[in-house]
Structure 1
Amino acid sequence: MIQVTGRRAEKALLLLLCLGKRGSTAFQVRGPVATTQRATAAVRVCRPTALSSVAGGVAEPGTTVACSRKLSKAVVVARGKARLFWDGNPLVYGGAVSRVEGDPAAGDVVDVIDSSGKFIAWGVYNPDSMYRVRVLAREGEAVCHDRDVGAVVKERLLTARDARRAIGLPNAKTDTYRLVNGEGDRLSGLVVDVFAGVVGVSSSAVWVEAFRPEIEGALGEVFGADATEIIWRRSDGRLQQDGWKGNNLSSPGVVAETTGADSEAARGAGSSEEVGAVGGGETGEKRLRSDAPSTVVREHGLEFEVRPQFGQKTGFYCDQRESRQAVRELSQGKNVLDMFCYSGGFALNAAAGGALRVVGVDSSQPALEEAQVNAARNELEGLTEFVKDDALNFMKASCCRRAPAIIAPPLAATPDGG
């Protein structure tokens, strides 16, 4: 029995349930009425046959569907390593592989079996990556049988959409959010961000590129008329690490490929001049450009101009939504320093939360201009100041000032700039 309590209960349940936890674990939801209602909704979304009673009751996982080996192409997991994948690990590392059968090529769908020949899962094979298989479906799932990548992607998208709806996204105050967060939504190497009617895709795995038509088709089916445009961006550095040998890697002059009603205009703006990569980062991480098409989105009641064809990641750090909200809640009556402020997401939340004064620092002039536009859009320009400077130099010069600081370097977190 796992008991989940408190105001974050529904999110804990999403983690446990939507990732497909195996076994006969029972879940009990306890907490405020609103929390238990949302958490119970999350159970209904992720395990529709699992809910045995109303909010506050116990939810038993539903029945599973047997699946067996079907393909001649297979990856055999080394003895003693199978437990990792029975328990849901979505990445089969090279060190966990005993042998490969059927001579699969990169991008081929393969079965994953244990040393006794028992079927575990299936996924996409990549001999050039440290991740030999990105698992897409496991034993016991209805989508496991047909080895249909498009069907699995659609199912994962629908589950991700319903999971976000279960916690209230989108809503009147927030229409930008992360729909798919890689392994967290069982689509390793794929990120999907929603910017009102624009869908931003970030690809960082060979299988995502290999099955791009299926992924775009699934996105079109799931969003329908709600998506006016799909923007596809490649994370070049990570794709290269994954063994990508394609001829269509993003060049400095071609930042994103788009489909939808506004695709021609977007492509024109996206390829008019060489942009170059942000220092130290991947060629897929482009500098923000003021002439790129913009989309206005809302997050926690604040409005932001975002340019999904350019800028960091998909154009806006959707995965930091709750962190920005936390900063807002902590900023009342304080002076706040936002380092690497980009387009002002943290800075403006601090100002909206009652900060006395907020200073944002970034080395990118276009990003600072975007932050100023966003401040004016939210009538917060009187509380905010944006400074163009190298963040480390600014910190050294300001070492004696005392203010809560938000330090979130977008490209300095890992050696490859991820």
Structure 2
Amino acid sequence: MADIYLKKNEERRIEAGHLWVFSNEVLKTEGEAVNGDLCQVYSSSGKFLGTGVWNRNSLICVRILSREKIEDIREFLRERILSAAGLRSRIYTGRSAYRLLFGESDGLPGLVADRYNDSYILQIHSSGMEALKDVITGVLRDELQAKHILTRHDMYFRKLEGLSEEDEILLGTPEKEVITIEGVKYQIDFRDSQKTGFFLDQAANRIYASRFTGGGSVLDLFCNSGGFGLHALKAGAREAVFSDISETALAAVRRNYELNGFSAGAEYIPGDAFMVLKELHQNGRSFDLVVTDPPAFVKSRKRIQEGVKGYLTINALALKLVKKGGFYATASCSHHITREVFLETIHKAALKAGRELKLLHFAGAGEDHPVLPAMPETEYLKFGVFAVL
């Protein structure tokens, strides 16, 4: 096991609770440092800081796992996974679909795991977790009775870590699961779904937004599996319009609509969101509730300005479709977009659209995506509901 020594004063952020060591913070290494192996981290004066996993190919060269020395990595992983599972079982009584592991926030940097009944989907973003995936699979199988496990990696982060850009089945033959979240059923098809199968981070926000349906019409933009629109229908909306650039996503929405036995009106519009919004406006369409849940427009700091411009445009277009006295819900899943920038952008979009807004509700991701206070990187989702005047 290699020993990693940090430059003078570089230990301060680690001692404050952050879990990443960057390559430019390392003074020296002692012993053989193999990518994916455990290492021990020390300050320049020799103070032990923690045990982590090493990757010389990454800007984040060490991800801290523990403030103590790890004697048995399998037992360590078992305890961390069971601790995370216990927390979710207390939060979600009777629910069998949630984010089981949220990387750094659950003390397992570089590892995300979503549960769908007896099926689990992993995202592995670090060489250390890649090296331990067989151990992780064993813990999920033996301790949580997982029957099916597959990976659905975020290839952007895999590339940054120098990892292979291929998914694999680790256990069983995962195909489909039907989950229920607050009375709404979803069919998850692991063969063609996006990312980890379902965007669980918005589960609570979909339920909250449905309060503003009022028996009216709803536009669910960037709808993916249709969560916002389906919950609105469950709450009594008379009509939901679903739009996504992916035909596969819209086919999934149709299946979910039928699965729930809804009888209210439903319309499915494929296409680029910017063009769809322009066409709806040109056709004189308007809605009591409009929801925009776009993908991350900003993947890195250097693209913040470009991303803000995209958020400004899409929100201005969407706000034009909200009826006077209606409601607008919008989100950003870009970590680099702060709450302040997010709200300022929505305000500017309202001015551009000639609308006046009142913020009624602001939230982040659900409780299965806990935030580590020392790591702002773990707080990425911004979600707001506005009254439109």
TM-score, reference length from structure 2: 0.72
Contact 1:372–1:381 (8 Å) recurs in 2 = no
Assess if the C-alpha contact under 8 Å between 1:338 and 1:358 holds in 2. Answer: yes
The answer to whether structure 1 residue 186 and structure 2 residue 68 are counterparts is no
What one-letter code is carried by the residue in structure 2 that aligns with 1:374? N
One-letter amino acid of the structure 2 residue matched with residue 211 of structure 1: L
Partner of 1:271: none
Which of these residues, 173, 187, 201, is aligned with residue 305 of structure 1? 187
Match of 1:207 among 125, 128, 143: 128
| Per-residue Cα deviation, 1:161-189 (whole angstroms, up to 9, x for no partner) | 1111221x251xx3211111111211111
Query: Do 2:141 and 2:147's aligned partners in 1 also have CA atoms closer than 8 Å?
Result: no
Please, which of 39, 62, 65 is the counterpart of residue 133 of structure 1? 62
Equivalent residue for 1:392? Answer: 274
Specify the alignment match of 1:161 in structure 2. 85
Q: 1:339 aligns with which of 209, 221, 231?
A: 221
Residues 1:97 and 2:26 are matched in the alignment: yes
Aligned partners of 1:170 and 1:177 also within 8 Å: no
Summarize deviations over 1:77-116 as a string: whole Å, max 9, x none: 2222212112221111123322222240211211011121
Give the distance between the partners of 1:406 and 1:300, measured in 2 at CA: 19
Deviations 1:127-151 (A, max 9, x none): 1101111111113xxxx341x3322
1:360-379, aligned counterparts within 5 Å? 360-379=242-261
- Shift of the 384–175 alpha-carbon distance from structure 1 to 2, 3 Å rule, reads farther
**Residue 299 and residue 256 in structure 1: after superposition, are their counterparts in 2 closer, same or farther (change >3 A)?**
farther
Provide the rounded CA distance (Å) in 1 between the counterparts of 2:285 and 2:21.
48
- Contact preservation (8 Å) 1:342, 1:367: yes
More off after superposition, 404-413 vs 200-209: 404-413
Cα deviation, residue 231, structure 1: 1.6
- Confirm or deny: 8 A CA contact 1:136 1:152 kept in the other structure: no
Aligned residue number for residue 196 of structure 2: 314
CA contact (8 A) 2:36 2:129 kept: no
Residue of structure 2 aligned with 1:406, choices 291, 305, 311 = 291
In 2, the alpha carbon distance for the partners of 1:407 and 1:206 equals 35
Measure the CA separation in 2 of the matches of 1:166 and 1:99: 44
C-alpha distance in structure 2 between counterparts of 1:153 and 1:381, whole Å: 47
CA distance in structure 2 between the partners assigned to 1:109 and 1:334 by the alignment: 56
Counterparts of 1:82 and 1:301, CA distance in 2: 48
CA distance in 2, matches of 1:388, 1:355: 21
Alignment equivalent of 2:38, drawn from 89, 105, 109: 109
2:216 aligned with 1:216, yes or no? no
Describe the shift of the 1:385–1:121 C-alpha distance in structure 2 as closer, same or farther (beyond 3 A). Answer: same
User: Which residue does the alignment assign to 2:157?
Assistant: 238
Contact 1:231–1:309, Cα closer than 8 Å, also in 2: no
Contact 2:111–2:125 (8 Å) recurs in 1: yes
Partner residue, 2:347: none
1:266-285 paired onto structure 2 within 5 Å: 266=174
Instruction: Give the match's secondary structure for 1:297.
Output: strand
Greater RCO, 1 or 2 (C-alpha within 8 Å, sep 6+): 2
**Aligned ranges 1:42-81 → 2 under 5 Å:** 71=1, 73-81=2-10
Structure 1 residue 197: Cα displacement: 1.4
Counterparts of 1:206 and 1:330, CA distance in 2: 44
Paired amino acid for 1:154: R
Deviation at 1:354, TM superposition (A): 2.3
Cα distance 1:381–1:317, how it changes in 2: closer, same or farther (>3 A)? farther
Quick one: structure 1 residues 331 and 222, their matched pair in 2 at CA, closer, same or farther if it must change by over 3 Å? farther
1:257 aligns with 2:257: no
RMSD after superposition: 2.2
- 2:15 pairs, out of 53, 71, 86, with 86
Secondary structure of the corresponding residue to residue 152 of structure 2 = strand
Question: Matched residues in 2 for 1:334 and 1:388: separation?
Answer: 22
Does the CA-based 8 Å contact 1:337-1:405 persist in structure 2?
Answer: yes
1:155 offset after TM fit, Å? 1.2
Quote how far apart the aligned CAs of 1:303 are.
Answer: 0.8
Work out the CA distance in 2 between the residues paired with 1:232 and 1:356: 38
1-structure distance, mates of 2:93, 2:196: 18
**Equivalent residue number for residue 380 of structure 1:** 262
Separation in structure 1 between the aligned mates of residue 263 and residue 296 of structure 2, nearest angstrom: 27
AA aligned to 1:228 is K
Question: Structure 1: 5+ residue runs without aligned partners?
Answer: 1-70, 267-292
- Which letter does structure 1 place at the counterpart of 2:96? D
Give, in whole Å, the separation in 2 of the partners of 1:215 and 1:381: 43
Q: Which segments of 5 or more consecutive residues in structure 2 lack a partner in the other structure?
A: 304-332, 335-389
Tell me if structure 1 keeps the 8 A contact 2:70–2:76: no
Provide the rounded CA distance (Å) in 2 between the counterparts of 1:332 and 1:153. Answer: 47
Aligned residue pairs total 300
Displacement of 1:195: 0.6
> More strand per residue: 1 or 2?
2
Is the 1:341–1:361 contact (alpha carbons within 8 Å) kept by the matching residues of 2?
yes
Letter in 1 for 2:159: Q
Aligned counterparts of 1:89 and 1:344: Cα–Cα separation in 2: 36
CA apart distance, 1:371: 0.4
Question: How far has the Cα of 1:237 moved from its partner?
Answer: 2.5
- Deviation per CA, 1:197-252, whole angstroms, max 9, x where unpaired? 1111112222221111111112123212xx221122333221111122x4xx31xx
